[in-house]
Copies of this chain bind each other. A is one copy, B any other.
């Protein structure tokens, strides 16, 4: 090989040089810059206790489980589906069906856990929910008039997927009961008046990231009615719905009687983050120029074939095995995890009450979600990036300024506390530090 000679010569030859100005605009997007800033602060202060990360709880991670899941899936293929050993080997090793190989198991799970009767042919298994978001937006962004609506504060994964599809996102306010329907209607009409085509509205009705807000059942029905009236699809994202403390409200998809809802599913929190397996349910009928009727899922599958070919059958087998070992009920598979998340949430809420007994008087408040990963605290001062750095450096505690989730300047006095990944002692110590930080900031504000 000629490497040494080439390297010696390299100094003499002007090397190829690229410039960010010549690269796709998504690379200089404010949302991406936000994430980079937050990651950078986290990496600069590794000893800080982090309420910034919404990653899954780690206590129950065990590599031995991956082997069991694989075995369970292979046993299912041979025992339940009658595969020969050659067919089992092929199912895991070879390129696979673009729409996935665990669609029947996903459909069974949706029926058991969510009361959703989904056609397995309407399911596309994806590389995490992130790929599902991108392929849906890529399909819907047919031209420059196509725009997306989304509840604001906005999930950063959605913002990123939309940037890659060159699709503008119009924010819709969030109230106590989730999406603000009057604002949704006004945004749809404003967009249409501007010659644009609002294709869909993204919502996370259960324990939204980052707002922590959930929608009541009447609010869900009203959203479906308004979306139908205004002619926009709903993209329902549901990564946290399972982790609730009581009654499980129906998803929008379960309430949908006219194919209004495209459902984005994730196994990152309920299955195994390291498998990177998610899915989309898209049963919308699509008419071709020649009158042929197909499912929207079939079009998403075509886009997926050009993007990642198919989701790793090995990764699907791991998730499929986990489903099979728990009778396809993720509720059953997550008994320990759900208890840990609810315990953590309770510790954060009680811990805040303990540390801020005169919260109302001092202008501090927080919401009280009944599940999920996030609590939003409102402070009587701007929770700026500079204060976050100060908090990390001087108090050893990380949180997320809510302003990063607004494209229109909101959330200045709010912080998101994620409690999913921490242990009880980390939560207790972290809240002590957070309270110290807030007291100092208040004193500074007074002085």
**Total contacting residues, chain A, CB less than 8 A:** 103
A window 1-16: CB within 8 A of B: 1-3, 6-7, 9-10, 13-16
Contacts of A141 in B (CB 8 A): 24
Q: Taking CB as reference atom, which chain B residue is nearest A13?
A: B258
Q: Is the CB of B306 within 8 A of A308?
A: no
Q: Is the CB of A254 within 8 A of B89?
A: no
Q: Is the CB of B115 within 8 A of A299?
A: no
CB distance from A191 to the nearest CB of B (A): 15
Q: Is the CB of A259 within 8 A of B16?
A: yes
CB distance from A93 to the nearest CB of B (A): 4
Give bound CA distance, A305 to B9, whole Å.
Answer: 35
Contacts of A3 in B (CB 8 A): 115-117, 254
- Name the residue among A134, A139, A308 with the largest chain B CB count within 10 angstroms: A308
Q: Is the CB of B58 within 8 A of A94?
A: yes
Give bound CA distance, A405 to B275, whole Å.
Answer: 34
CB distance from A139 to the nearest CB of B (A): 5
A381 proximal to B (CB < 8 A): no
A25 proximal to B (CB < 8 A): yes
Give bound CA distance, A97 to B44, whole Å.
Answer: 16
Contacts of A259 in B (CB 8 A): 15-16
Contacts of A166 in B (CB 8 A): 166
Give bound CA distance, A228 to B15, whole Å.
Answer: 9
Q: Taking CB as reference atom, which chain B residue is nearest A159?
A: B306
- Name the residue among A130, A163, A275, A315 with the largest chain B CB count within 10 angstroms: A315
CB distance from A303 to the nearest CB of B (A): 7
CB distance from A64 to the nearest CB of B (A): 9
A window 61-120: CB within 8 A of B: 61-63, 66-67, 70, 74, 86, 88-90, 92-96, 114-117
Can you name 15 A-B residue pairings with CB atoms under 8 Å? A2-B255, A6-B254, A10-B257, A10-B258, A24-B141, A24-B303, A61-B86, A63-B74, A66-B314, A93-B274, A96-B274, A130-B307, A134-B306, A274-B313, A312-B315
New A-B pairs, 6, CB < 8 Å, besides A27-B299, A134-B306: A17-B286, A55-B95, A61-B89, A93-B273, A134-B307, A275-B314
